[in-house]
Amino acid sequence: MTDTLPATMCAIDISSPGGPEVMRIGHTVLPEPKSNEVLIRVAAAGVNRPDIQQRKGAYPPPPDASPILGLEAAGEVVGRGAAVTLYNVGDQVTALCNGGGYAEYVAVPATQCLPWPKGYSAVQAAALPETYFTVWANLFDIGHLQPGETLLVHGGTSGIGITAIQFAVAQGSKVFATAGTAEKCAVIERLGGIPINYRTHDFANFIAEATVNQGVDVVLDMVGAPYTAQNLASLAPRGRLVQIAFMAGAVAQNLSLLPIMLKRLTVTGSTMRPRTAIEKAAIAHSLLTTIWPQLEAGLYAPIIHATFPLAEAARAHELMESSTHIGKIILTL
């Protein structure tokens, strides 16, 4: 670490689990990077659904992770551990954090960092890690989506949804995506997807008609239990249902498993935070070699809905919980 760094830093403090109002700016000791970590002076940090759950006390951080909210951040490397060779002090990186992003400084394993794509601002760079790591791992490593296959994405204008549409369209897959307003459906269409307004259409019936009862190859779902039966009905033979969240519940009642057997389906899912550093490093390498060139070529980019100063993190959480946003919500420092 350099000698010019402060001993303490500003960070979002949570007095007790609860609503957005429990978040306040506080002061804490500057993190000391471990041998495999870099210390980043944060310029921008992404807001994600797991942050909401952690704030409520429903998503505790792993024992070795920072208790401060924040799973992605972009900024400048200002210190590094003895074993780090990937990045130097002064490099601009964006990072998948194990926690601690809602702060002036965060320590992150160097292998979970990626350079800012050429031409990107801190806000754009901070919008990448959590959604990009999650979508790559679930859509390709787990879901095995192939060029020419079809995909159904729920929450098509969330950060995850937009990224999934962009990745799939770029590789030549056909994409259906659900959303709840005409404005959001228009965004999906502009991204190259086929929108389904779930307020006016039963998405399983829509998929059946659009695919002539063939179904889709992969469903990427964050809604959970209420959609499970329709997701299984929407899958083609040998299709894959990949579950990444349970926003509307994790327990499905009166669910028939028959479609899984008859169509030889795969039902799977994952979370990102508990993965090992080795697993996250492998995803980072895949993104750097496959996705980063596409970003730098301008084939697509993250959609930023709004930015808030760190001190207004409560407003950012209120916006995310309203589900009216399209794309990413970013905190700036």
Global pTM reads: 0.95
* 312: number of Cβ within 10 Å: 16
CA geometry: angle 107, 111, 117, nearest 5 deg: 95
Read off the pLDDT of residues 319-332 as tens digits, 9 standing for 90 and up: 999 999 999 999 99
Q: Going residue by residue through the chain (333 aa), what tens digit of pLDDT does each one get?
A: 445 899 999 999 998 999 999 999 999 999 999 999 999 999 999 999 999 999 999 999 988 899 999 999 999 999 999 999 999 999 999 999 999 999 999 999 999 999 999 999 999 999 999 999 999 999 999 999 999 999 999 999 999 999 999 999 999 999 999 999 999 999 999 999 999 999 999 999 999 999 999 999 999 999 988 999 999 999 999 999 999 998 888 898 889 999 999 999 999 999 999 899 999 999 999 999 999 999 999 999 999 999 999 999 999 999 999 999 999 999 999
Q: How far apart are CA 298 and CA 195, in angstroms?
A: 23
| pLDDT tens column, 222-252 | 998 899 999 999 999 999 999 999 888 889 8
Domains in the chain, start-ordered, CATH in brackets?
Answer: 8-128+273-332 (3.90.180.10), 132-269 (3.40.50.720)
Pick left, alpha or beta for residue 90 (phi over 0 → left; psi -120 to 50 → alpha; otherwise beta): left
Report the alpha-carbon distance of residue 88 to residue 81 in Å, rounded: 10
Residue 288 structure tokens? 């750097």
Q: Closest Cα to residue 160, out of 250, 271, 64?
A: 271
Percent of the chain residues past pLDDT 90, beyond the cut: 93
Tokens standing for 330?
């970013």
* pLDDT per position as a tens digit, 146-197: 999 999 999 999 999 999 999 999 999 999 999 999 999 999 999 999 999 9
